[in-house]
Structure 1
């Protein structure tokens, strides 16, 4: 097994600032993101602070600082607050709409395969995934689930990047076992379906 089987996790994550953050390429930013996420989770989940009150207080503090800065700048002949030109460009809106369209079309194609084509395998996969999500969601609230997602996103990519070959080997073995078991279950369900029994009666 050579390194030829490896692929770039950094490129798979987009190859930009987000990939650097998740793979701890710039560890100061990753640590700051982890500490900030932990502080927010503790603040809202454990300390019982209200999200709406927190956002309002932060915005109020920011508005007061900017107002006092602008007033003092005009009185003391100092530069105004260095705020950029805050506006969303048409190109950004078009890119976001294109990205959203891809995901919506993908979801609609899955729904079409299930509802019209009657794809049993795809239906089983979607139903299993939704049941897992529902079960996990019943164990944690949304904020804790989001925080767990942050922890996993900061740990799993860097671990996979470091131990890619042995992880791929274990995943391939697990995939083969799951595929065999799934095929057995699917064959059993098809053999017990009314359509299958009707075919067997016609053959006899």
Structure 2
């Protein structure tokens, strides 16, 4: 009986061989594309060329040695899962656009400042390395942080609690010295969600 492997099991290193294999695979892909400057389209084309050449030769050689040709299965992708993914993605994109519209309309200063700071940090990271490297870093963090948190949960929770208290103190100071001095215009009727 095949045991179902869940993403949580991989990220929490419950099956060390599979987790290590995934991490090594991601590292190999990153090295292939980033350090060796190989391109995805080139890789896909080379794999397809190799696969088609092997199957073509195998099919033709079997005629000469009186063997049966390889069975190449017909592949049909079901339409339903793709439509569900696109539908869910559309809902999330519309939700994000609504939040951005509310922020741009000046309704939530805290979210506006948070988004500006987040985009600024991303732009700095983007200037330091390319998108593939950022995805690789995020993947490695996703692959290591959950298991470290599970192992050192009490210490992390204690540290985060202290950090949140300090962040709230600093925000209160910022609010008192900066945000409270920003003039506020007349309130307009807000739409009820």
Aligned to 2:6: 17
CA–CA distance in structure 1, aligned partners of residues 45 and 83 of structure 2: 31
Q: Counterpart of 2:107?
A: 118
Cα contact 2:58–2:70 (8 A) shared by 1: no
- C-alpha distance in 1 between matches for 2:93 and 2:109: 21
- Which of 71, 74, 78 pairs up with 1:80? 71
Cα separation, 1, equivalents of 2:179 and 2:91: 33
Q: Which residue is equivalent to 1:172?
A: 161
Equivalenced residue count is 181
Asked if 2 retains the 8 angstrom alpha-carbon contact of 1:70 and 1:80, the reply is no
Q: Which residue of 1 aligns with 2:176?
A: 187
SS in 2 for 1:24: coil
CA distance in 1, matches of 2:7, 2:26: 15
Q: Deviations over 1:59-108 (max 9, x none)?
A: 21122223334445665125514x4x533323202320232133213312
In the alignment, which residue of structure 2 is the partner of 1:132?
Answer: 121
| Structure showing the higher helix proportion among its residues | 1
Offset at residue 132 of structure 1 (A): 1.0
- Give the TM-score taking structure 1 as reference length: 0.75
CA contact (8 A) 1:22 1:157 kept: yes
How far has the Cα of 1:142 moved from its partner? 1.7
Asked if structure 2 preserves the Cα contact closer than 8 Å seen for 1:41 and 1:143, the reply is yes
Using the TM superposition, name which of 100-109 and 62-71 deviates more. 62-71
* Unmatched segments (≥5 aa) in structure 1: 1-14, 197-204
Match of 1:43 among 24, 28, 32: 32
Aligned to 1:150: 139
Q: CA deviation at 1:169?
A: 1.9
Q: CA RMSD in A?
A: 2.6
TM-score, structure 2 normalization: 0.79
Q: Which residue in 2 is equivalent to 1:102?
A: 91
Distance change (3 Å), C-alpha of 1:73 and 1:174 = farther
